[in-house]
Amino acid sequence: MQVAQRRLAEMRAILVCAVLSLLSFSHACPKECSCNSNTKAVDCRGQGLYDIPRRLHPDTQELYLQDNRIRGLGSMAFREIPLVRILDISNNSITTISPTALLGLRMLQRLSLAHNNLRELDKRLLGPIRSLSHLDLSHNSLWGLPGAMGDSLRNLSHLGLAHNRLTRLDRSLLEALTHLDTLALRSNPWRCDCQLIGLKLWLETYLFKGGVVDEVLCSQPEEMKDRDLQKIPYQLFHVCMTTSYHYLFANIHHLESERLLQSHTHGNHAHPSSHALHVPMAMGEGFGGGGGGGMAECETKQKPRPVNLRHAIATVIITGVVCGIVCLMMLAAAVYGCAYAAIMAKYQRELKKNEELAAAQGADHATADEKEPLENAIA
């Protein structure tokens, strides 16, 4: 009986705490917003706000601030809600963000800053955040993203950069996006020159792994305008090989990544449960004649390499052949030089020997001439 009463008292205490927590969450809701105590979401959309509302409950997990008039985010702007997971500040008038605006938001998973007036982002903005999986920066005026920001984006699955002023992207930033599934890059003034060859090679590896990207249409130079970067053949970047080292290093890095990827793929072929099998079957191929046969034998097929990748490999092979021919020519020249030196040494030895013989014969003739008058005098 006492045990039952004790359990009943505990249940009442838990119920009272839950009710008090809900009342506390509702009481802490700003007057401009509506709060949901079950999902711990605060909705402040379309309220004409110029700043982040105050008196937010510290247990808030979702905050929606779209369609307001917020112009900037100051230092530790969200210090009252350290547990927030979803933060949407899209469609405002934000032009500046303090490097420490998101300080303390270690649980943040989704961040949207789309449809604002941002021109740049500080590399320290996302520094303390490691759980971010969705980042939308589309419809701004960004000129680029700092490469150092990549450490905070390693768990990112979606990155939206469409409708900005990007002309190139830092390769180190792209390499950090190891878990990226979708990438939006359309409607940017991409400059398709030697500086963009790294993005082209990275995109081929990214697509080979199954990533999704919309399009990268060139705006400059004029001869490549409105052409998709992924469909431009590598021959048009041939000038990069003579004007800079970007093509060479990017190509080597890309081919090394492909080699590692292929070895990883071959290693996983032994585990069919982890990869889908591509089994091309025409109508009637899967069954024997007369309907009495079994299923056709499944075969794993490697995904065909992109055409541009084959061009890159062909370029490397041709370069290797040329280098091999040059090495053979140098070897032939070295052999010829050694043979010539040996022949000249032999000739010099024979010449010296002939000179010594001639000198010895001259000495014999002189001795004979001296003996002849002496013999005549004696006679």
Domain extents for the chain?
28-188, 316-354
Distance CA 176, CA 173 (A): 5
- What is the tens place of the pLDDT at every residue in 94-146? 999 999 999 999 999 999 999 999 999 999 999 879 899 999 999 999 999 98
**Residue 213: phi, psi to the nearest 5?**
-140, 145
The pLDDT score that the predictor gives to residue 308 is 60
Distance CA 379, CA 10 (A): 159
Residue with tokens 């091309």: 280
Q: What is the pLDDT along the chain (379 residues), one digit of tens a residue?
A: 555 555 655 555 454 344 334 444 445 799 999 999 999 999 999 999 999 998 899 999 999 999 999 999 999 999 999 999 999 999 999 999 999 999 999 999 999 999 999 999 999 999 879 899 999 999 999 999 988 888 889 999 999 999 999 999 988 899 999 999 999 999 999 998 888 888 888 999 999 999 999 999 999 888 889 999 888 887 666 666 554 455 455 555 555 666 666 665 555 544 444 433 333 333 333 333 444 444 334 444 455 555 566 677 878 888 888 898 999 999 999 998 888 888 888 888 888 888 888 888 777 666 666 655 555 655 4
Q: What angle do CA 75, 78, 84 make, to 5 degrees?
A: 145
Give the pairing of strands 110-112 and 96-97.
unpaired
- 214's tokens: 């919309």
Q: What is the per-residue DSSP string for 226-287?
A: T-BGGGS-GGGGTTHHHH-SHHHHHHHHHHHHHHHHHHHHHHHTT-GGGS-------TTTTS
The pLDDT score that the predictor gives to residue 345 is 86
- What is the tens place of the pLDDT at every residue in 234-278? 766 666 655 445 545 555 555 566 666 666 555 554 444 443 333
For the chain, the farthest-separated pair of C-alpha atoms sits apart, in whole angstroms, at 168
The pLDDT score that the predictor gives to residue 140 is 97
Topology, domain 28-188: 3.80.10
Tell me the CA distances in angstroms from 33 to 27, 64, 74, 113, 151, one per residue in order: 12, 9, 21, 20, 34
Distance CA 251, CA 117 (A): 36
Distance CA 249, CA 251 (A): 5
What sign has the CA pseudo-torsion 119, 122, 123, 124? negative
**Residue 293: phi, psi to the nearest 5?**
-85, 175
The pLDDT score that the predictor gives to residue 316 is 84
Closest CA to 184 of 131, 139, 153: 139
Q: What is the per-residue DSSP string for 59-86?
A: T--EEE--SS---EE-TTTTTT-TT--E
Distance CA 300, CA 319 (A): 33
From start to end of the chain, where are the E strands? 34-36, 41-43, 62-64, 72-73, 86-88, 96-97, 110-112, 134-136, 158-160, 182-184, 190-191, 212-213, 218-220
Residues sharing a CB contact under 8 Å with residue 277, sequence separation 6 or more, in sequence order: 298, 299, 300
SS3 (DSSP) at 21: helix
The pLDDT score that the predictor gives to residue 269 is 46
Closest CA to 258 of 307, 210, 204, 300: 204
SS3 (DSSP) at 161: coil
Give the pairing of strands 182-184 and 158-160.
parallel
